[in-house]
Amino acid sequence: MPVQFFKVPLSVQPKGGGEAEFVPPKVLQELSYRFLIVKDGAAEAIIEIEESEAVLETIEKAQDCQKLSEAQMKELKDTYPKPKLKQKYRLRVQTQEGEEAEAPAEAYEVDEQGNKIVDTFQTVRAGFYLIDLPVSI
């Protein structure tokens, strides 16, 4: 499947507990995509999406999604303020089989060599919210 880059607008929706989440345009809400960078203030982002040609054409036709070539993506990415990045070990999804199973408090996912898998997050300020967003580097 082809990979394409898009510049998309974002909005922020408050959740319970003083947290918030990013809301992408409707055309992207059921699709799998990766954030490359989010502009501080959360007004817009550059995403990478790998889908069929038909789906990519639908996204291209959306009023609020701008298709970018790789050169345009790099140029636009360079104009954004330097992101605040941090790395965290990926936690293993705990599945409990009844009440007898006791898993260690900190179980991390590991790769084939036994090394802990590290995920990179960008901390984005949106209003008074600080949102950690997984990004591809």
- In this prediction, residue 116 has a pLDDT band, given cuts at 50, 70 and 90, of very high
**Could you state, in order of their start, the residue ranges of all structural domains in the chain?**
3-83+124-134
> What's the confidence (pLDDT) of residue 95?
63
Q: What pLDDT score does 133 carry?
A: 87
Task: Write the DSSP string, 75-109.
Answer: HHHHHSPPPEEEEEEPBPPP---TTT----SS-B-
For residue 24, what is the DSSP state? -
> What is the tens place of the pLDDT at every residue in 31-76?
999 999 998 888 899 999 999 999 999 999 998 999 999 999 999 9
What average pLDDT does range 21-27 have in this prediction?
90
Judged against a pLDDT cut of 60, whether residue 103 lies above it is answered with no
Q: Are strands 66-68 and 3-9 parallel, antiparallel or unpaired?
A: antiparallel
Question: What average pLDDT does the structure give for the chain?
Answer: 87
99 confidence band (pLDDT: 50, 70, 90) = low
Bridge partners (DSSP) of residue 91 are 108
Percentage of residues in the chain having pLDDT higher than 70: 91
Instruction: Report the percentage of the chain scoring pLDDT > 90.
Output: 50
The pTM score is 0.79
